[in-house]
Amino acid sequence: MKKFLLTLIALVAFVPTLEAKNYEINVGGVEVSSSNANNVTGKDITVTSGCSSGYVSYEESTNTLWLNNITIHRTGSGDYAIHNRKCDGLTIRFRGECYFTSDKAAALKLQRNTTLCPDYNSYIEVSGNYTNNTYALDIEGNTIDITGWSSGKLKFYAGNADYGCVTRSGSGSLNFKGNADIRFYNNPPSSVSYTWAPAWRNVYANFYHGADVHVYGENYAIYDSYIHTHYDDVEVLIPYGGDYTHAEHVYFSSNYVAIINEENFPDANFRSYLMSSTGAGYTKGYLVSSDIESRTTFDYIYGKNFSDLKGIEFFTNLTSIDCSNNSISGILDLTKLTKLTSLYCNKNRIDLLKLPASLTTLVCNDNDLTTLNLTSQTALETLNCKNNDLTSMDVSKCSKLWSIDCSNNKFTTLDVSNMAALSVLYCDDNKKLTI
């Protein structure tokens, strides 16, 4: 029996121990493996100041590295904040508030294809170091997808004065695919000498639907780089017109409602008026959703020498327009402005009005109108259409009309028999009119 027990103990002693699986990812100087994947900790991995908790973890089933409210600062040569050595297809998901810096190496070193993804309401900074000419991001020859959510922010700060935020080799490229707010900065201190100080130099970048990317440089935002947009709705919104050859700030985005250009706004005076307005995008040459949401009136565009209001249909929150005393001619189509209640378009050269059903006040006198269709304007209360060339007008559906001035037209008949609310009617100078 004693001999048997000794043999059993010996066998147990020689049972091989299972080695931890190494995922070829280093975070803050710590190798990520199966033994620590649920909670990666180290002396250079700290919870971001002001945050109550934070963590680093790796999920093998989705090949995702999670960083939540984490600050990593490395100081040694070759000490990367995050280093993806051989984990191809890795997604790095950022949550909360995170900061990554390295004094003597790139903050993020990505030697395999990687996706960077700032999460909802996250704020992420990745910084190089000007003293040692380090980059925020080193992608070598790999494809880096940068995606995320519109409320997420990911900022890269250069540490190399002449080459900017990113270094690459071979076919390395950045692909911007998500809605997160992505920004690159190169703003070297006065103590550092530089020639160009671009945020991007020798960068290969692709922009897809949802891209929202700002690039800021000291002299040039982008220098000697390759830029490709893969969808029609991705535009260079800054500088206006898209020529960023010598621009210090370039903004690529599909986060806009309309470009203020000749195609969308044919009238040059109308374009100038819009670009001098106060808003998020006006002065930069485009309209964003906040510009549309905040604009409810165009009450001060009378006497501006506008000849065409095409483009006004983008402003779907409009309730009131006063475009009187201009030179607007042809068709004025406002049917898309379904919240519009008040329209003053008098003293122009309009020959056809297309109107939304929401109107309560219409003042269109002194134009070239020959017809006026009001069969859908059941909410209309006041109408002034005098001094036109109208021969007929159906107001039978406008039961709320209490005031009509249709004088000096060419009416032969006008049926107001069902107008119970009508209390004011001017119809003089219609020589053949029968009521």
Cα–Cα distance for residue pair 322/310, rounded to 1 Å: 15
Please tell me whether the overall predicted TM-score, pTM, comes out greater than 0.85 for this model: no
Q: How many Cβ atoms from other residues are within 10 Å of residue 94's Cβ?
A: 26
Rounded CA gap, 13 and 115, in Å?
A: 44
The phi and psi torsions of 45 (rounded to 5 degrees) equal -105, 110
Quote the strand ranges of 267-341, DSSP E.
286-287, 297-298, 320-322, 329-333
Conformational region of residue 371, where left means phi above 0, alpha means psi within -120 to 50, and beta covers everything else: beta
DSSP per-residue string spanning 132-147: GT--SEEEET-EEEE-
Q: What residues contact residue 4 under an 8 Å CB cut-off, 6+ apart?
A: none
**Half-sphere exposure (Cβ direction) of 293: Cα atoms closer than 13 Å:** 5
Q: Identify which of 133, 128, 182 has the alpha carbon closest to the alpha carbon of residue 158.
A: 128
pLDDT in single tens digits along all 435 residues of the chain? 555 444 544 444 544 556 899 999 999 999 999 999 999 999 999 999 999 999 999 999 999 999 999 999 999 999 999 999 999 999 999 999 999 999 999 999 999 999 999 999 999 999 999 999 999 999 999 999 999 987 899 999 999 999 999 999 889 999 999 889 999 999 999 888 888 899 999 999 999 988 999 999 998 999 999 999 887 678 888 886 677 878 999 999 887 888 898 999 999 999 999 988 877 777 778 888 888 889 999 988 999 999 999 999 999 999 999 999 999 999 999 999 999 999 999 999 999 999 999 999 999 999 999 999 999 999 999 999 999 999 888 888 999 999 999 999 988 888 888 788 999 999 887 766 666
Calculate the dihedral angle through the C-alpha atoms of 38, 43, 46, 49, rounding to the nearest 10 degrees: 160
Report the C-alpha dihedral over residues 319, 322, 326, 331, rounded to 10 degrees: 30
Note whether 351 and 368 are within 8 A (CB).
yes
What tokens does 243 get?
């020529």
Q: Identity (one letter) of the amino acid at 173?
A: S
Whether residue 338 contacts residue 359, with contact meaning beta carbons closer than 8 Å, is answered with no
Burial of 348 (0-12, 13-18, 19+ CB in 10 A): buried
Alpha carbon dihedral 166, 182, 117, 224, in 10-degree steps, equals -30
